[in-house]
Chains A and B, each alone.
Chain A
Amino acid sequence: MNKRIFLAMALAALPAVSQAAAQEKDAGQAKGDKLVYAELAKAPEKARSKHNPLENDPDAVAAGRNLFARHCAECHGKTAEGGKKAPSLRAAEVQNAQAGAIFWILTNGVIRRGMPVWSKLPEPQRWQLIAFIKSLGVRSASPVVPSPNPEPTALKEPSLPPR
């Protein structure tokens, strides 16, 4: 009898336990994401002030989309909204960051947090990737945090461009 009561109680508690575990995991992931976003602020001023030389290239976004699908989607998700391994690139922290700061992160990686160095991609391809990322616009559950030096929004589109 005692065993049955214990089993019933355990079954009843299971959803709460799994929800708590999921919440703990989400909280851990959110903290990890914040640490990666914080790396953007570490970009030196010289790197941050760089402008995307392909900003006005009509093919840059389409080429960047292909590069994203090949190199980044596995971790950041197909729609760049984040995955198990890497944070969303549509968060305000990324979308409002200067192109130069994103370029610096791409070039240097965040090695201790699992983001590889992408300097193996030639510079023009890294800028094409940034043109695509910046074209996605903000989509975030958290409120938009204005950046001290917001980037021009000429490339921004409301949603992921069709392939």
Chain B
Amino acid sequence: MFPHFRIATRVFALLSLCTAFSPSLHSQERPYFVAYDHYLEEPGNLEIEYFSTFGTQRGGNSFHSFWTEFEYGVTGWWTTELYLDGQTTFHDSTLFTGFRWENRFRPLKHEHFINPILYVEFENKNGADKILKEGEGHDVEADFLTPNSEARQEHIREVELKLILSSTFKGWNFTQNTLAAKDLSNSPWEFGYALGASRPLALKASAKACTFCPENFVAGVEMYGGLGDRHNFGLHETSHYLAPVLAWNLPSDWTLRISPGFGLNDNSHRFLLRWGVSREISGFGRMLGSLFGVRQ
């Protein structure tokens, strides 16, 4: 058997076992789909997430894009994530559109009124990517009209930087993300933003463990869009979205999220419906280490 196949089999088996039998760990997950707050993954934990976006398209076919995230807490101040993206355009085709590797770093040791997080991402995708995970540059709805067979020919390698400023006050989380992205070809820097606010439906926990308790729900709203590029900075020919968000942290370690999003101008998709499911695997790093004989 080829060594890489053996390793892949082991990792797959471990992931399956972990998902089925991992220790109970109920985390308070953020409800946002696009914006980030300042909370990182707990060290040694792996969170597996699946997200979908259904989008309408004026003058073309609606689409369903999807991505899987593997989010791992390397240390208390560093979280790394791998994304695998794909999409189905109705009456066209389904295809894998690429991967992303993102890293978030917490530079400050303690909690402050405003907490900065530095975000660095590398994207290797094709032009058919439709996950709309961020608004940047002059991305508009009309860009999505290109048929998949043609769009997939375009290869995009991009570096994305974000400054995340997040604050938690009286149970509310407020976050502001500023984005700068550079296609590694000869394209100008592009800019974007995301804003978010959210709060659990109850601040005190119930004395009895329950599934439908209000403290298990986190509701909020996020807004995101592009800010043009280095040559043409501003709101001209950019798209913007406003989306209520809701997360339900189930006592069985699963988190469900849903968010209907609405385009705010003529350059935006009129409607995006996002949903997602995630599960946190506690102590994944330790389990992986023992599987491959790494001394802890």
Contact residues of A with B, CB < 8 Å? 54, 59, 62-64, 66-67, 69-71, 73-74, 84-85, 107-117, 119-125, 128
Contact = CB atoms under 8 A, between A and B. Distances in A.
A112 B109 contact: yes
Contact of B77 (A54, A107, A111, A119): A111
A66 B206 contact: yes
Nearest to B202: A122
Interface stretch (B13-21, B51-59, B147-155, B207-215): B207-215
B286 interface: yes
A67 B106 contact: no
11 contacts: A71-B25, A71-B26, A109-B111, A111-B75, A114-B43, A116-B39, A116-B42, A116-B43, A120-B39, A122-B171, A128-B205
Nearest to B22: A74
Nearest to B109: A111
Contacts of A107: 111
A123 B171 contact: yes
Nearest to A117: B111
Given A111-B77, A123-B203, 11 more contacts: A66-B205, A70-B26, A71-B26, A73-B24, A74-B282, A109-B111, A111-B76, A111-B109, A122-B171, A125-B205, A128-B205
B28 to A, nearest CB: 5
A63 B206 contact: yes
Contact of A67 (B44, B76, B205): B205
Contacts of A110: 76
A83 to B, nearest CB: 10
A78 to B, nearest CB: 10
B23 A120 contact: no
Given A119-B168, A120-B28, A59 B76 contact: no
Contact of B209 (A66, A112, A120): A66
Contacts of A120: 28, 37, 39, 168, 173
A103 to B, nearest CB: 11
A115 B205 contact: no
A94 B275 CA distance: 41
Contacts of B27: 71
A107 B26 CA distance: 18
A59, A62, A66 interface centre (most CB from chain B within 10 Å): A66
B282 A121 contact: no
A84 B24 contact: no
Given A111-B77, A114-B43, A63 B26 contact: no
A85 B205 contact: no
A119 B111 contact: yes
Contacts of A73: 24
**Top 6 nearest A-B pairs by Cβ distance?**
A111-B76, A70-B26, A62-B207, A122-B203, A59-B207, A122-B171
Contacts of A128: 204-205
Interface in B106-133: 106, 109-111
Nearest to B205: A63
Contacts of B76: 109-116
Contacts of B208: 62, 66
B24 A69 contact: yes
B204 A66 contact: no
Contacts of A66: 205-209
A71 B24 CA distance: 9
A84 B283 CA distance: 10
A67 B202 CA distance: 14
